[in-house]
Amino acid sequence: MSNLLFRPVASYSLALFRIFWGVLLFGTAVSSYDQITGVYSPDYFHFRYFGFEWVPYPETELDTFVELSILLGLAIGVASGFFTRLCLVLYAVIYLHLFLIDQVYYNNHFYLTILICVCLSLTDSGNVASVTNLLFKKRKPLHFVPSWQYWVLRFQIVLVYLFGGLAKLNSDWLRGEPLRYWLNYSSSIKWPLQALAKEEWFVYVCAYGGIAIDLICPVFLLFRKTRWVGAIVLISFHILNSRLFNIGLFPLIGLVLLIPFFENQKAFRAVYSWMVPNSSGESRDDLSLASRPFILPVLAIYVSIQILGPLRHHFLRLDPAWTEVGRFFSWRMMLRNKDSYLDFLIDSSEAREWISNNAGRLPKLHSNHLISLQENPWFLLQYVRKLDEVLSSHGMTNVPIRAVCLVSLNHRPYQVLIDPSVDLTEVEYSILKEPDWILPLNRSLSQTVKPLSREDRLKSLQSAIDKFREQNPEKSILLNGYQAKTGG
């Protein structure tokens, strides 16, 4: 193990990765500016992460603008190698703050961005081809680093693919859902794939090919003889993804994350030949001996958290796609599509009248919040608690609030997600207890192979509402209209 983790290897690929990663960090910050008036805005109600409700959100939109502008400067510092470790840590902390403001903004590649910044900050990537070395002439470039500095990055990257592949081994994905719907109705598919995307065989090629790529290619990347094969397949995979789906910077991130698997400077000589030193640098034998007692426990803790975290939903035997328990921080990517309807039952005529006359005093929701509120029972629970606080502050205490929530998961018939008999103001959140107020999913899929159009799905929803009225006549007051949407 010592030979594997502390074997001296050339640092130039690490420096090259740092440069490209800094460029991506810059792009990530730039792409976040449009959320200043969106989900980041202090005007809206925010769905907080459990245990992180204390994290303050910016009081004004200017505060968010300042934070994003600082991220731009830090990204430039990372790319140029100007106090790299400090820039990476500060970027991770500020970006984590923005990340924790609202769960609606959760995205796997945002989470991955924070983790890669943390991993890269542990390395000596800023000691080669860096502005700091130019400013401080006495600082000697570190031409070799212990191999763990590559392996910590490789571990994190491989883990994303492997957990992503394992998550796809479910009945829905194996039957082509929700991939079938996206390929049939997505407006982001680019030439020349529009015609192919509607073919049934192409759905299965993408579904099973995605599993194979996620589970096999990362293993190929770990071995020198198969590394280039895995890299070529993954390059093709990310290019195909960029043509099929609108997934932002993720394809570029996937390409840049291949660099740490090629630590031999010969592999990238054409790119960083200007980085190759004139001398061999410090002795390889004495490399980072002082760091060994410190780094091994840190790596062990980090590895354990990253392996156990994505498995947490198995301890409660819950389906993350239906209950949303364990869906975040688990590398579950593009596995569910939800259409939903939501309405509230306020068991107080006084409260109902007050709400009707004071809509502006209710917790304000962004359009993204409205969509997520209908499909995520935990967001719904947070909103009900806030609504209860508002009513209590105006003298209406102990008002029972119930919900009727009909959801179609991956194009199944609409089912009731929340037990409509439960007063949600009395529900306590617990990460260790199975939520009995979330009704179980009927696992059977609809027999329809071809996804229904939006119009047909609206008709299906109306049918589900009518059926619910027949079975629950005392709750028909709730169903005075409906909202349906196509989820992601």
Average pLDDT, the chain: 85
Residue 323 lies in a domain: no
Claim to verify: residue 71 and residue 203 sit in the same structural domain: yes
Claim to verify: residue 140 and residue 23 sit in the same structural domain: yes
Residue 318 lies in a domain: no
Asked if 120 contacts 21 with a C-beta cutoff of 8 angstroms, the reply is yes
Asked if 275 contacts 128 with a C-beta cutoff of 8 angstroms, the reply is yes
Q: Is the pLDDT of residue 389 over 50?
A: yes
Q: What is the mean pLDDT of residues 210-215?
A: 97
Taking only the tens place, the pLDDT of each residue in 285-334 is: 445 444 556 788 889 999 999 999 999 888 877 899 999 998 999 999 99
Claim to verify: residue 12 and residue 161 sit in the same structural domain: yes
Please give the pLDDT value at position 452.
64
Claim to verify: residue 220 and residue 341 sit in the same structural domain: no
Claim to verify: residue 93 and residue 232 sit in the same structural domain: yes
36-45, 280-289, 410-419: which range is least confident on average?
280-289
Please give the pLDDT value at position 73.
97
Claim to verify: residue 343 and residue 210 sit in the same structural domain: no
Claim to verify: residue 117 and residue 72 sit in the same structural domain: yes
Please give the pLDDT value at position 285.
41
Taking only the tens place, the pLDDT of each residue in 152-191 is: 999 999 999 999 999 999 989 999 999 998 898 887 888 7
Residue 31 lies in a domain: yes
Claim to verify: residue 210 and residue 135 sit in the same structural domain: yes
Claim to verify: residue 51 and residue 181 sit in the same structural domain: yes
Percent over 70 (pLDDT), the chain: 87
Please give the pLDDT value at position 207.
95
Among the listed residues 23, 281, 11, the one whose alpha carbon sits nearest the alpha carbon of residue 153: 11
* Predicted confidence band of residue 220 (pLDDT cuts 50, 70, 90): very high
Please give the pLDDT value at position 312.
87
Q: What is the mean pLDDT of residues 98-119?
A: 94
Number of domains in the chain: 2
Taking only the tens place, the pLDDT of each residue in 343-368 is: 888 888 898 889 889 888 888 988 88
Q: CB-based contacts of 131: which residues, under 8 Å, 6+ apart?
A: 80, 81, 82
Percent over 90 (pLDDT), the chain: 50
* Predicted confidence band of residue 277 (pLDDT cuts 50, 70, 90): very low
* Predicted confidence band of residue 278 (pLDDT cuts 50, 70, 90): very low
Q: How far apart are CA 373 and CA 133, in angstroms?
A: 50
* Predicted confidence band of residue 447 (pLDDT cuts 50, 70, 90): low
127-136, 317-326, 333-342: which range is least confident on average?
127-136
Claim to verify: residue 239 and residue 359 sit in the same structural domain: no
Q: What is the DSSP string of 367-396?
A: HHHHHHHHH-HHHHHHHHHHHHHHHHHTT-
Burial of 120 (0-12, 13-18, 19+ CB in 10 A): buried
Asked if 236 contacts 255 with a C-beta cutoff of 8 angstroms, the reply is no
For the chain, the distance separating the N- and C-terminal CA atoms, rounded to the nearest angstrom, is 42
Claim to verify: residue 115 and residue 190 sit in the same structural domain: yes
Residue 321 lies in a domain: no
Please give the pLDDT value at position 22.
97
Residue 329 lies in a domain: no
Residue 326 lies in a domain: no
Please give the pLDDT value at position 424.
94
Residue 331 lies in a domain: no
Taking only the tens place, the pLDDT of each residue in 460-475 is: 777 877 777 776 655 4
User: Which of residues 151 and 272 earns the better pLDDT score?
Assistant: 151
Q: Is the pLDDT of residue 453 over 80?
A: no
Please give the pLDDT value at position 470.
73
Q: Is the pLDDT of residue 271 over 70?
A: no
What is the number of residues in the chain? 488
How is the chain split among helix, strand and coil, in percent rounded to 5? Answer: 60, 5, 35
DSSP one-letter code for 402:
E
Please give the pLDDT value at position 273.
53
Helices (H), 101-224: 108-121, 131-135, 148-167, 171-174, 179-185, 194-197, 200-221
Claim to verify: residue 112 and residue 216 sit in the same structural domain: yes
Structural domain including 461 reads: 337-478
3-class state of residue 445 by DSSP:
coil
Residue 406 lies in a domain: yes
Q: How far apart are CA 16 and CA 23, in angstroms?
A: 11
Q: How far apart are CA 51 and CA 425, in angstroms?
A: 19
Q: Is the pLDDT of residue 100 over 80?
A: yes
3-class state of residue 113 by DSSP:
helix
Q: If you search the block for the tokens 């890269």, which residue do you land on? A: 120
* Predicted confidence band of residue 448 (pLDDT cuts 50, 70, 90): low
